Amino acid sequence: MRRGVPGLGGLSPIVLYVVLFALLPPCLLFAEAWSSQGGAAGLSGVLADPLNRAALGNSLIQGALSSVVVVAIGYPAGVFLGRYSFSGREAILALFSVPFLLPSLVVVAGVEDLFGPSGFLSVPIPGLRALGSGLGGILLVNACFNLPLVALLTAVGVESSDPAREEAIAVLGGGPGRAYREVWGPPSWVGAGAGALLTFLFSSMAFAAPLIVCGPRCYTLEARIFTLDQQLVQPATAALLAMSAVALLAVPTAIYLLLVTRLRDRTPVGTARNRPIPWRRPVGWALAGATAVTVALVAAVAGAVAERALLAPSTGGAGLFSPALTQRLGISTSAALGNTMFFAAGAAGIAVLFGLLAGFVLRIRPSWSRPVQFLLFLPLLISPIILSFSLAEFWRPLLGGESTVWLLILLSQATLALPFATQSLWVGLRRVPASFGEGARLLGARPITAFLDTELPLARGALVSAALLAFALGLGEFTATYFLATPRFTTWTVELYRLQSLRDYAAADQLAFALLALSFVSFLGLLVGGRRVRL
Amino acid sequence: MSASELLRIRDLSSAWAGVPVLRHVSLEVAEGEFLALMGPNGSGKTTLLRLIAGLDEPTGGSVELRGRDLVGVPAHRRGIGMLFQDAQLFPERSVWENVAYGPQIQRRPAAEVESLVTEMLELLRLRSLADRRPEELSGGERQRAALARTLAPGPSVVLLDEPFASVDAELRREMRAEFRRVLSARRTAAIFVTHDRDEGLFLGDRVAVLLDGELRQTGSPADVFEHPIDERVARFLGYNIVPAPAGPMAVDPSELTLARSGEPGVSAAVVARGWSPQGTGLLVRAADGSVWEVVLPKDEVGPPVGSTVQIRWQRGVPLATSLDRDRPHME
């Protein structure tokens, strides 16, 4: 009996999904804009526009500066967490997952609450107002999101180094500097490098922070594309600018993929287990200080949102659910919550399903690792605005207009969560020895049965972690949802932005707090499972 | 294929990243036979088992089970059992559930599964451990449970990949006897992989020696041990290779002695001296650079390290000439 190509059945739906919902729509959008705008001449014209050039410059500057800032603080923090053992270490590692689970608007609200015109810190110390608006505010928001990520990725790199090699260097007379250069430094650089690139990708295409904290003078390409399509009704120009954005992101995305693959290929060995913090040396204090700064930033932002929400409302939660507000927004807060939960749960389901399919394919076809990874990480290249823009242009006419907006929101959230959910799942699956599945196959189980019966139960924690991560990402997703949503399909993040636009700050603070609480539930789920975000 | 021939492997080859791991291996296993596949670490033994099981794909050659070509048949449809070095029991399941897994996958009726599992647990004396999880078992119990699980679906042949590697010496002896007893009782053919010469020679109805991806020699344990086909096989079997006028000769360490004055011998330098259960052990380096192991009677202290001695031997096994040396020998 001859068999077909094993794994092809599992790979086909993944290819189909990525092509139909992540690859084809932007490609067709770009091709159409390219031909309608006169090809290269049209593109030159778009790039010659001073506002577009400013957006490109802002993307590069904000991306680069954010990367530098977060690596400067996040790298020592990551070394501290990856290398030393101390009580509370696991709690800090879990806490560092929080920003990634927080909606961007909540972080922006937190930064404004701390450093805005009436901020907790900027009122007593006016000099800190620079951190509540303009480029300073944007950098702070980006740092809040990405600082813990760089620290986590650096810690993973440090943990993957081999302690036996370090001991061998020590007994042969090599000092700490040599051990750093030859053993644990290089993997930590890989982790920090991956974190820096991820920071660049996120920050250069940030949407909420430039929009709210600074305004048009700080618009990134993402915000400018949104403006061109949604406000100035120039979709072809927006598409050509989006094409430039994809080209800009291609190289950092490729390098990030390379680095994160290296990181995943290394098995963590837990060097931190038995090494105490070197309090007698200045480096110990410096590393602990960087960690404390990161912890303080995360805690302060989350705390500011919580405190503002708890202090502000004289109306309790009633204002948020009042008929007057429903009339102004066109949707009730409870209906928006329903939308939020539906999209987040649906997106998590889709992302985990494809992550699982990919995991199964890689178990029986390890040699396909690179192409499958490339396929699933392709959405990283496509920012939320570009994805939603192209989905709307390509699929909305085919699917029948406004009534299918929900489907486009669901698909965009799922596609954006796909790389992160997959990565989280793969890290768990890689730790399950292949021989369990092989053993089941030798007992007569079909490959998929062997995978579901014997391998997946052992990666249950990673599965839960991936699902919660995808759910939390959907929960906080603002950019793509805002681009696509009509009032009927408004989510809480979109409602929050609209409340801020309407200057209903009391209701906005309450909603931000509710979003924070929802994210906290996801965080608790991760914490109970003893998991960390894997990127 | 003869009536009793169960498994036939022809010209099986495999490569990893372009580097050959197995080269044209041909081998037969008869019904109920226990074949010990011996070779040092890295010789390709596990690769050969994985190819037979269908877990990896060969670059060439064929595997036939009762005349049926298995190339292209996935592992779950081959009807071949395999026991891994570290048992790999499913940690989420009890011993009973592990043993029942195969028959349940075969969709056998519940009553039949129940009776089969009970039979297997009794055969391997695991009845009292049926409800335990793998982490609650000792190393030996885990291997016995793994064998019960492997045998439960009724495989035609069982592949045993160094199943005693992680158990201590005392338990190993017990496990060898247990495994032979059970496999004989079930009349199940087995290929047993080991890098331990004594274990392979003791357990195998036949033995096969795999070196650097090539099957160098097969035969009965006595035949292979007493007539190693070439230097490489002889070295693996623990022989010293000494020069003789008619060509190289394999000599057991116990057959090498120190020549007394006036007796003919080969000059060698003592490089190490130590204790061994058989007597004083010496390592000597001959003029051609080869190192020989010499065992002196227990009452002899032996010459000091650095001294030059004359070595002689009582008897040895003449090895194949250089012309024959690269030609693997089959029965």
Other Cβ atoms within 10 Å of A517 Cβ, number:
12
- The answer to whether residues B155 and B32 belong to one domain is yes
| Chain B: residues touching A (Cβ < 8 Å) | 53, 55, 72-78, 80-82, 84, 86, 88, 90-92, 101-102, 105-106, 149-150, 152-153
**CA gap A303, A98 in Å, rounded:** 12
Nearest-angstrom CA–CA distance, A397 and A403: 11
Hey, of B55, B57, B89, B161, which one would you mutate to test binding to chain A, going by the most A CBs within 10 A of its CB? B55
pLDDT tens readout for residues A120-146:
888 888 888 888 888 999 999 999 888
Q: Does A441 touch chain B (CB under 8 A)?
A: yes
Per the CB < 8 A criterion, the answer to whether A178 and A99 are in contact is: no
Q: What is the CATH number of the domain that holds B115?
A: 3.40.50.300
Q: Min CA distance, B39 vs chain A (Å)?
A: 22
**What is the least distance, in Å, from the CA of B52 to any CA of chain A?**
11
Closest residue in chain B to residue A366, using alpha carbons only: B56
- The total of other beta-carbon atoms located within 10 Å of residue A321's CB is 15
Query: Which residue is associated with the tokens 């007593």?
Result: A124
Q: Tell me if A446 and B75 make a contact (CB, 8 A cut-off).
A: no
Four-point Cα dihedral A212, A213, A219, A220, nearest 10: -100
Phi and psi for B20 in degrees, rounded to 5? Answer: -65, 135
Query: Which of A305, A349, A332 has its CA nearest to residue A104?
Result: A305
Q: Are residues B123 and B183 in the same domain?
A: yes
Q: Out of B191, B226, B261, pick the residue that ends a domain.
A: B226
- Strands B157-161, B80-83: pairing is parallel
For residues A29-37, give the mean pLDDT.
89
Looking at the structure, tell me whether residues B282 and B147 fall in a common domain.
no
Q: Are residues B259 and B184 in the same domain?
A: no
Confidence of residue B14 (pLDDT cuts 50, 70, 90): very high
Task: Decide if B240 is inside a domain.
Answer: no
Distance from CA of B56 to the nearest CA of A (A): 10
Q: Would you say residue A269 has pLDDT above 70?
A: no
**What does the pLDDT look like over B212-246, one tens digit per residue?**
999 999 999 999 999 999 999 999 999 999 888 87
A458–B92: do the CB atoms touch at under 8 Å?
yes
CA distance A534 to A422: 9
Assigned domain for B137 exists: yes
Segment A221-245, tens digit of pLDDT: 999 998 998 888 888 899 899 999 9
- Give the distance, in angstroms, between the CA of residue B54 and the centroid of all CA atoms in the same chain: 20
Q: What is the per-residue pLDDT for A534?
A: 52
Mean residue pLDDT across chain B: 89
Residue with tokens 């739906």: A13
Interface of A with B in 4-63 (CB under 8 A): 6
The pLDDT value recorded for residue B325 is 44
- Kindly state whether residues B66 and B165 are assigned to the same domain: yes
In sequence order, what are the residues at sequence separation of 6 or more whose Cβ sits closer than 8 angstroms to the Cβ of residue B152? A443, B99, B100, B101, B102, B103, B116, B117, B120
- In tens, the pLDDT along A192-224 reads 999 999 899 989 988 888 988 888 899 999 999
Report the distance separating Cα A348 and Cα B55, nearest Å.
33
Same domain, residue pair B136 and B187: yes
A447 contact residues in B (CB cutoff 8 A): 74, 76
* Residue B125 included in any domain: yes
Please report the pLDDT score of residue B97 as a whole number: 95
Which helix (H) or strand (E) covers residue B65, if one does?
Answer: strand B60-65
Give chain B positions within 8 Å (CB) of A435. Answer: 84, 86, 88
Per the CB < 8 A criterion, the answer to whether B229 and B235 are in contact is: no
The pLDDT score that the predictor gives to residue B31 is 92
What is the structure's pLDDT at A267?
Answer: 55
| Nearest chain B Cα distance for residue A452, angstroms | 12
Please state which of the ranges A6-10, A103-107, A141-145, B116-120 shows the lowest mean pLDDT. Answer: A6-10
Six-digit token string for B195: 């890098």
Residues 6+ apart with CB under 8 A from B82: A438, A439, A442, B49, B53, B55, B150, B158, B159, B160, B161
Of residues B89, B150, B53, B51, the one with CA closest to residue A443 = B150
**Best mutation site among B71, B80, B105, B108 for testing chain A: the one with the most A CBs within 10 Å?**
B105
Residues A412/A384, Cβ–Cβ less than 8 Å: yes
B151 and B210 both lie in a single domain = yes
Both B24 and B98 in one domain: the answer is: yes
Residues 6+ apart with CB under 8 A from A378: A18, A22, A23
Q: Pick from B156, B196, B157, B153: which is nearest to B176 by CA?
A: B196
Task: Spell out the alpha helix ranges (H) of B124-281.
Answer: 139-151, 169-186, 197-203, 221-226, 231-236
**B121 & B175 share domain:** yes
Residue B120 has a pLDDT of 92
In this structure, what token pair is assigned to residue A376? 């699933």
In this structure, the answer to whether residues B12 and B137 fall within a common structural domain is yes
Q: Do B76 and A433 touch (CB under 8 A)?
A: no
pLDDT of res. B3? 55
In a domain, B242, yes or no: no
Tell if the CB–CB gap between B105 and A438 is shorter than 8 Å.
Answer: no
HSE (side-chain half, CA atoms, 13 Å) at A190: 22
The string of DSSP letters for A247-272 reads HHHHHHHHHHHHHHHHHHHSPP--TT
- Residue contacts between A and B (CB atoms, under 8 Å): 69
In angstroms, the CA A41 to CA A38 distance is 6
Q: Residue A504 — pLDDT band, cuts 50, 70, 90?
A: confident
Instruction: Mark whether B13 and B142 lie in a shared domain.
Output: yes
Binary contact (B73, A440; C-beta < 8 A) = no
Query: Which stretch of DSSP H or E encloses residue B269?
Result: strand B266-276
Read out DSSP for A105-174?
HHHHHHHHHHHSTT-TTTTT-GGGGGGTSHHHHHHHHHHHHHHHHHHHHHHHHHHTS-HHHHHHHHHTT-
| Amino acid occupying residue A403 | S
Q: Which residues contact A49 (CB under 8 A, 6 or more apart)?
A: A237
Q: Comparing A320 with B240, which gets the higher pLDDT? A: B240
Q: How far is CA A384 from CA A355, A408, A443, A470, in A?
A: 20, 12, 46, 15
From chain A, the residues in CB contact with B91 under 8 A are 458
Least confident of A304-313, A464-473, B13-22: A304-313
Non-local (6+) Cβ contacts of A39 within 8 A are: none
B327 lies in a domain?
Answer: no
- A39 SS3 class: coil
Q: A158 and A191 in contact (C-beta within 8 Å)?
A: yes
How many Å apart are CA B76 and CA A439, to the nearest integer?
9
Return all residues near B128 (Cβ < 8 A) that are at least 6 apart.
Answer: none
Structure tokens at A288: 């602990």
What does the pLDDT read at residue A164?
Answer: 79
Phi then psi for residue A305, to 5 deg, are -60, -45
Q: What is the pLDDT of residue B329?
A: 43
User: Tokens 């042949």 sit at which residue?
Assistant: B157
* Number of domains forming the structure of chain B: 2
Indicate which CATH number applies to the domain containing B283. Answer: 2.40.50.140
Q: Which residues of B touch A438 (CB under 8 A)?
A: 53, 55, 75, 82, 84
The answer to whether residue A150 scores a pLDDT higher than 50 is yes
**Using CA atoms, how far apart are residues A454 and B90, in angstroms rounded to an integer?**
6
Cβ neighbours for A332, distance < 8 A, ≥ 6 positions apart: A321, A325, A326
Q: Which pLDDT band holds residue B210 (cuts at 50, 70, 90)?
A: very high
pLDDT band at A318 (very low <50, low <70, confident <90, very high): low
- B265 is in which domain, residue-wise? 252-311
The alpha carbon of A166 is separated from its chain's Cα centroid by a whole number of angstroms, namely: 34
Residue B326 is assigned to a structural domain of this protein: no
Q: Which residues pair with B270 in a beta bridge?
A: B284
Task: Report the pLDDT value the prediction gives residue A121, as an integer from 0 to 100.
Answer: 86
B305, pLDDT greater than 90: yes
Whether B233 is covered by a domain: the verdict is no
Question: With an 8 Å Cβ cutoff, are A458 and B91 in contact?
Answer: yes
Query: Considering only A322-336, B70-84, B148-162, which range has the smallest mean pLDDT?
Result: A322-336
ipTM of the complex as predicted: 0.80
B302 and B202 both lie in a single domain: no
Report yes or no: B189 and B4 within 8 Å, Cβ to Cβ. Answer: no
- Residue B280 in domain: yes
Please check whether residue A182 touches B, CB under 8 A. no
Q: Taking residues A506-513, what's their average pLDDT?
A: 82
